[in-house]
């Protein structure tokens, strides 16, 4: 079992993580993310758009069970984070979430 919070923090510090649903969507159109992470309470219209675009590009999507406030806090941000994309996992094993 992967410790999501720990692996996300490692990815943020050692890799490249982009926060935000609009920026994630733009990156998806170019096929850049290796993994897309959505908050459990991500608004349906955003979740649908990101999921469909990611599936079309063959990019896995992981839904974090916590809220967007929780996801924001894990990212060290003082605001809600509905979606983020992992461009480079760095030293983390966060991409294993896509396998599970």
- Write down the pTM of the prediction: 0.96
Tell me how many domains the chain contains: 1
Whole-angstrom Cα distance, residue 27 to residue 7?
Answer: 21
Mean pLDDT of 24-35: 97
> For 59-89, what is each residue's pLDDT tens digit?
999 999 999 999 999 999 999 999 999 999 9
Full domain range(s) for residue 71? 4-99
Alpha helix positions (H), 1-100: 4-14, 21-29, 44-57, 68-74, 96-99
The CATH number covering residue 91 comes to 3.30.1330.30
């Amino acid at each position: 079992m992967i410790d999501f919070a720990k692996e996300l923090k490692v990815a943020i510090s050692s890799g490249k993580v982009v926060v935000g649903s609009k920026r994630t969507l733009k990156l998806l159109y170019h096929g850049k993310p290796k993994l897309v992470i959505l908050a459990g309470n991500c608004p349906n219209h955003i979740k649908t758009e990101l999921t469909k675009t990611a599936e079309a590009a063959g990019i896995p999507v992981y839904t974090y069970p916590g809220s967007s406030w929780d996801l924001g806090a894990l990212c060290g941000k003082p605001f809600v984070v509905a979606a983020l994309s992992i461009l480079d996992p760095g030293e983390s094993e966060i991409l294993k979430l896509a396998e599970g």
